Structure 1
């Protein structure tokens, strides 16, 4: 995830998450839209709906929100903040690989579980909380339609991520 690099290279985005959109940051969000579309189509074609509906729903929300940022050249900084969530995906995917390889009872799986939980709290829960707070504090500066999309997006993503966190906690630590 190159999102932190974009803020380092363009610190002005930290001050203006709405209007600042350097080409590299805009490209990163655009490529991310492409990734989410490709992953959506792949899941639709290769997985049963009852197994993937949550991720399909998640991807739909991300595609809409990031698509707005890409098409309007606005909220690119906010989308980059949202991409911080994907840092945790590295460890979620590694967890899936270790499960498929039947390596649940290994030190590697245990270490990944700890890192996964830590990055989940920092990069998913804390980021989503910060984004919700930012949206609420800046509601006067955000057009009503965009505010509605952002609010609905956060209202969907936050509970989904809290439920997934509980499932991970239950599966890897409370069994």
Structure 2
């Protein structure tokens, strides 16, 4: 958006060179991750991410196949900036580094980028869909609204879980940590 400010004027029909490829590669990534989770994780552990990936694959797939809404898909990819910190959090948890400054700093950055790049982006995308209702074909609009209706609550719930896990520890949790 910085390099191509004209993208902000047309999220439907115009996109910069390489943007279509970026969205197509993203579809490939989500497909690969979907199959990997199906093969290597228990369904009760991964159903939310499988559902999330399904929605993204459908929405981004529409942009790739139609060569439209690529700009809108690029906006959605801003969400992935926060994924860097979500993944780092997982790595730190697996390395048992929860009680480190690095984990604490990542937790703060994670929540900050979560609000900016997930919550605010999804809110903006929903707002854009409502504002552009007359310009978006009914089927595409329905997919977009359903996608937002699924992704927004999922992300709010995940935000709450992160907040509770990293910042709102109960007195019982604190007591258990002291005993360990």
Name the structure 1 match of 2:47.
53
Counterparts of residues 93-172 of structure 1 (less than 5 Å)? 93-172=87-166
Counterpart CA distance in 2 for 1:58 and 1:23 is 27
The one-character-per-residue Cα deviations of 1:107-133 (angstroms, maximum 9, x if unpaired) are 000000000000000000000000000
Mapped partners of 1:41, 1:23: distance in 2: 29
Unpaired segments of 5 or more residues in structure 2? 169-179
Residue 18 of structure 2 aligns to a residue whose secondary structure is: helix
Deviations 1:79-115 (A, max 9, x none): 0000000000000000000000000000000000000
With normalisation by structure 1, the TM-score equals: 0.95
RMSD over equivalenced CA pairs, Å:
1.3
CA–CA separation in structure 2 for the residues paired with 1:10 and 1:119: 23
Q: Rg: which structure is higher?
A: 2
Check the 8 A contact 1:21/1:73 in 2, yes or no.
no
With normalisation by structure 2, the TM-score equals 0.92
Query: Displacement, 1:11?
Result: 2.0
Q: Is the 8 A contact 1:26 1:70 kept in 2?
A: yes
1:55-86 deviation digits (Å, cap 9, x = unpaired): 00000000000000000000000000000000
Number of matched residues?
A: 169
Q: Displacement of 1:22 after TM fit?
A: 2.8
Segments of 5+ residues of structure 1 without an aligned counterpart are: 1-6
Please state how far the C-alpha of 1:23 moved relative to its aligned partner. Answer: 3.2
Q: By how many angstroms is 1:9 displaced?
A: 2.8
Q: What's the offset of the Cα at 1:13?
A: 1.2
Task: Find out whether 1:14 has 2:8 as its counterpart.
Answer: yes
